[in-house]
């Protein structure tokens, strides 16, 4: 890296930062965002930075970890469309109570804890599709892994 290519690198890192910050997986994106922003600040003022190499390494580590996160990059609208298609494929695209075909679909985490077990144990998060009939309001859940969408 030279002082001449720093502005171009800063611009690309800023674009990367913007795209990461738009993702909904906050706890996964936060470390990468912090690392990338630290690197940008140091690239702008290399004379004030003592550890550019360390910051570059930290950014690479944080971005590698983010890319390894299985939920990173999944967009809610895209997932909703895929879930609707999967429900059609499995002939599960209408209300189980009144047979109405207009359903509200949302992807959610179901927070569960096995019973019986120690009540102090941390709950388990199960990615699921919440399906609500727009006519009678009947609700049901589909495990996204079983549905083939995770
Ligand atoms: Zn219904």
pLDDT at 49: 67
Whether the Cβ atoms of residue 19 and residue 50 lie closer than 8 Å to each other: no
- 71, containing H or E segment: none
Q: Which domain holds residue 115?
A: 76-147
Gap from CA of 55 to ligand 1 centroid (Å): 54
Q: How many CB atoms lie within 10 A of CB 149?
A: 17
pLDDT at 4: 78
Gap from CA of 132 to ligand 1 centroid (Å): 8
**Of 6-10, 49-53, 126-130, highest mean pLDDT:** 126-130
Q: Are residues 140 and 87 in the same domain?
A: yes
Gap from CA of 97 to ligand 1 centroid (Å): 5
pLDDT in tens, 87-139: 999 999 999 999 999 999 999 999 999 899 998 999 999 999 999 999 999 99
Q: Are residues 81 and 49 in the same domain?
A: no
Cα(57)–Cα(63) distance, rounded to whole angstroms?
10
Q: Are residues 24 and 57 in the same domain?
A: yes
Split into its structural domains, the chain has a count of: 2
Percent of the chain with pLDDT over 70: 97
Q: Please report whether residue 1 resides in a domain.
A: no
Percent of the chain with pLDDT over 90: 62
Q: Are residues 49 and 108 in the same domain?
A: no
């Amino acid at each position: 890296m030279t002082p001449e290519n720093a502005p171009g690198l800063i611009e690309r890192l800023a674009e990367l930062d913007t795209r990461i910050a738009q993702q909904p997986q906050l706890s996964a994106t936060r470390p990468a965002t912090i690392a990338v922003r630290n690197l940008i600040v140091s690239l702008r003022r290399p004379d004030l930075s003592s550890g550019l190499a360390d910051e570059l390494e930290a950014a690479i580590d944080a971005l590698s970890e983010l890319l390894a996160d299985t939920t990173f990059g999944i967009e809610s609208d895209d997932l909703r469309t895929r879930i609707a298609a999967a429900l059609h494929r499995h002939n599960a695209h209408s209300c189980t109570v009144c047979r109405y075909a207009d359903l509200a679909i949302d992807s959610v985490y179901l927070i569960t804890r096995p019973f019986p077990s120690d009540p102090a144990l941390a709950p388990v998060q199960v990615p699921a599709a919440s399906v609500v009939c727009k006519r009678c309001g009947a609700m049901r859940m589909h495990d996204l892994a079983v549905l083939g969408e995770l």
